[in-house]
Chains A and B, each alone.
Chain A
């Protein structure tokens, strides 16, 4: 059982380049999320989606874009990469709930360096 799969695992980008971080889940979860993890800062929500075709901003959305064309996939795009976007990126998914409190299942992350 794959769970949440993120690709690539590592990437080095030059300033100004763009790339797409891929995320796929096979648990038929409606909700999907993108977080970034910086040392000593915990994880911060970038974007989230409550279903195909529906996305919304999280706490730190600037410099990123997302799309959700299928239930399974939730790619994160970086346009014009900047050094401040050097981080570890985590994708997660969960079942939906009207009241919150469903466990989120995380992938193993993409480690991105921008030089």
Chain B
């Protein structure tokens, strides 16, 4: 039973396009929603995060949109670049700063 559901599994986007990854959760006790980026052979690294009292957060080309009533959140990557090609994980944090991860999205940006 997956507490955080992520889609799509993989995504191919042209350079300069917008990449969109979606996540949904069930547990209303989650109170922090980070996105992690992982390159091959490396551990995940925090990309951007949001708390549920905010509907949108933007950092450079990366934006999180958060819909608390629908229990959904998404990552938008504007002007996608080949260097953005990686695996992206959404996550939710529960007590003890424990991360519950989505299954991941493999993003490929074609040049």
Instruction: Report A's interface with B, CB cutoff 8 A.
Output: 4, 31, 33, 35, 40-45, 48, 50, 56, 58, 90, 92, 94, 96-97, 99-104, 106-109
Q: Measured between alpha carbons, how far is A90 from B97 in the docked complex, in Å?
A: 16
Q: Measured between alpha carbons, how far is A96 from B6 in the docked complex, in Å?
A: 27
Q: Measured between alpha carbons, how far is A98 from B92 in the docked complex, in Å?
A: 16
Instruction: Report B's interface with A, CB cutoff 8 A.
Output: 4, 6, 9, 31-32, 34, 41-46, 49, 51, 89, 93-104
Would A100 and B101 count as touching, CB distance under 8 A?
no
Q: Measured between alpha carbons, how far is A41 from B43 in the docked complex, in Å?
A: 15
Q: Measured between alpha carbons, how far is A106 from B41 in the docked complex, in Å?
A: 12
Closest to B3 in A: A59
Contact of B93 among A96, A101, A108 (CB under 8 A): A101
